């Protein structure tokens, strides 16, 4: 639209003010990814310095090693403050993030330097605490993201190397970083990128907990849907949906797997936790989610919970796979219906894609076994082409309707002082 709309203005189809309003409907979300550059830069520079020092670490005397660590740490923080006072916030926050990375490396290398062998997470936990505190001291997307990433690294190390799950790390990320995102600085809106990465971090830690405790895979969805329910309570709609994105994707992939492999009762058996305990926990999270939707006026998104229907308690076989396909179709239909009511083009596209995926899974399940393979691919190709044409046609109509609605509005030229 950015490339085409100047021609529309030149041809007199729309005014410049109408073009501006149309562009405002589709904000460039990709710009947010630029905020990751200082974070990635800090990590890469930190890793580079770490690899150089590590390669020559053993040949350096201990005082030099300690001096290198402290000097790098102080230089990074001093440089960050220097650039912040000069008004260069991105470089300043990037250097502060680098200081945080060096702080974590210093904890590890100092323990090696003095041969301090520990089998608990207290040292690495200090790294997470420092990161969370730093995120409260500075209004920075980079410094908010760093403790979330560090929490993932610390939790992964704890479960894989030490064989323990650090509930303190989980709490620091969920409550410390989570609250920092929930209540941003005055005049700022909650960051949707931080919301998505926060949800991914919590889901990853939940998966580690399931793997470590050898619990049924389905227990993963209790904390995952708690994250989803938190999004229902958030006052900012876009931020709440960003937090809910990863749990919904996980639930959809789970339902898709059940539709593809549900015929194997052995697979379904791996998913069945104790009925009362699981359904009781899931029901409590559902009640929390419904209360949040009701309080924020978002009950239209309640069909998202269709993906969490516990169909795996049914006997395995084709009936289970078919029942899961019905759920996938119902979920896709609910997304399409909600998109039509709200007039959201992106949700309309998402609903159509979900419908196409459900159709292809159903086609594969119902025809692969008995249909001639050449005919299978031919019909599948025709089906995909037809659905692709339908998707493009609906999107074109939707976009045309949006443009017509904007043109129909009275012109609102910016006021000028006479």
Residue 122 pLDDT: 75
Q: Over 90: is that where the pLDDT of 247 sits?
A: yes
Average pLDDT value over all residues in the chain = 79
* Contact yes or no for 346/29 (Cβ under 8 A): no
- Residue 415's pLDDT band, with cuts at 50, 70 and 90, is very low
Residue 299 pLDDT: 87
**Mean pLDDT, rounded, for 229-251:** 91
**Mean pLDDT, rounded, for 45-54:** 68
Which tens digits make up the pLDDT trace of 278-312?
Answer: 899 999 999 999 999 999 888 888 988 988 887 77
**Mean pLDDT, rounded, for 47-66:** 72
Residue 70 pLDDT: 86
Q: Would you give the end-to-end CA distance of the chain in angstroms?
A: 33
- Residue 376's pLDDT band, with cuts at 50, 70 and 90, is low
Q: Which residue has the higher pLDDT, 352 or 97?
A: 97
At CB < 8 A and 24+ separation, what contacts does 160-168 make?
A: 162/119, 162/120, 162/121, 163/212, 164/121, 164/212, 165/208, 165/209, 165/212, 165/213, 166/121, 166/125, 168/121, 168/125
Q: Over 90: is that where the pLDDT of 364 sits?
A: no
Q: With pLDDT > 90 as the criterion, what percentage of the chain qualifies?
A: 20
Residue 172 pLDDT: 92
At CB < 8 A and 24+ separation, what contacts does 286-294 make?
A: 286/225, 288/226, 288/229, 288/232, 289/225, 289/228, 289/229, 289/232, 292/229, 292/230, 292/231, 292/232, 292/233, 293/232
Q: Which residue has the higher pLDDT, 190 or 165?
A: 165
Lowest mean pLDDT across 122-126, 140-144, 179-183, 266-270: 266-270
Q: Which residue has the higher pLDDT, 19 or 396?
A: 19
As given in the structure block, the two tokens for residue 350 are: 């998402």
Q: Over 50: is that where the pLDDT of 166 sits?
A: yes
**Mean pLDDT, rounded, for 3-26:** 77
Residue 148 pLDDT: 94
Q: Over 50: is that where the pLDDT of 359 sits?
A: yes
Residue 413 pLDDT: 46
Q: With pLDDT > 70 as the criterion, what percentage of the chain qualifies?
A: 73
Q: Over 70: is that where the pLDDT of 374 sits?
A: no
Q: Which residue has the higher pLDDT, 84 or 403?
A: 84
Residue 347 pLDDT: 76
Residue 418 pLDDT: 36
Most confident of 129-133, 312-316, 370-374: 129-133
Which tens digits make up the pLDDT trace of 195-221?
Answer: 999 999 999 999 999 999 888 888 999
């Amino acid at each position: 639209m950015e490339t085409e709309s100047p021609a529309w203005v030149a041809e007199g189809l729309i005014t410049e003010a109408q073009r501006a309003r149309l562009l405002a409907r589709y904000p460039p979300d990709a710009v947010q990814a630029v905020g990751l550059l200082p974070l990635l830069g800090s990590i890469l520079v930190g890793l580079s310095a770490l690899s150089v020092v590590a390669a020559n670490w053993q040949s350096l005397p201990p005082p030099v090693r300690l001096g290198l660590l402290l000097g790098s740490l102080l230089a990074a923080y001093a440089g960050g403050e220097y650039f912040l006072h000069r008004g260069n916030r991105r470089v300043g926050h990037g250097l502060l993030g680098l200081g945080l990375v060096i702080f974590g490396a210093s904890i590890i290398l100092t323990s090696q330097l003095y041969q301090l062998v520990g089998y608990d997470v207290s040292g690495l936990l200090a790294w997470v605490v420092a990161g969370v505190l730093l995120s409260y001291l500075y209004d920075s997307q980079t410094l908010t993201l760093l403790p979330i990433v560090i929490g993932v690294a610390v939790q992964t190390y704890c479960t894989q190397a030490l064989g323990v799950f650090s509930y303190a790390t989980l709490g620091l990320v969920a409550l410390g970083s989570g609250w920092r995102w929930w209540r941003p600085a005055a005049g700022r809106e909650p960051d949707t990128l931080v919301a998505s990465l926060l949800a991914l971090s919590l889901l990853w830690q939940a998966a580690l907990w399931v793997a470590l405790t050898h619990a049924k895979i389905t227990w993963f969805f209790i904390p995952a849907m708690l994250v989803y329910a938190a999004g229902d309570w958030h006052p900012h709609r876009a931020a709440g949906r960003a937090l809910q994105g990863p749990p919904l994707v996980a639930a959809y992939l789970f339902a898709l797997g059940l539709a593809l492999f549900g015929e194997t009762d052995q697979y379904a058996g791996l998913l069945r936790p104790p009925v009362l305990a699981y359904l009781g926990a899931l029901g409590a999270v559902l009640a929390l989610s419904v209360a949040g939707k009701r309080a924020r006026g978002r009950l239209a998104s309640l069909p998202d919970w269709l993906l969490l229907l516990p169909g795996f308690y049914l006997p395995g076989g084709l009936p289970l796979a078919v029942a899961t396909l019905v759920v996938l179709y119902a979920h896709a239909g609910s997304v399409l219906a909600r998109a039509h009511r709200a007039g959201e083009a992106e949700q309309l596209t998402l609903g159509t894609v979900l419908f196409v995926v459900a159709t292809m899974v159903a086609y594969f399940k119902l025809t692969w076994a008995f249909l001639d393979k050449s005919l299978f691919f031919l019909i599948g190709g025709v089906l995909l082409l037809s659905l692709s044409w339908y998707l493009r046609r609906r999107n074109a109509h939707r976009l045309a309707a949006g443009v017509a609605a904007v043109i129909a509005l009275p012109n609102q030229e910016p006021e000028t002082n006479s």
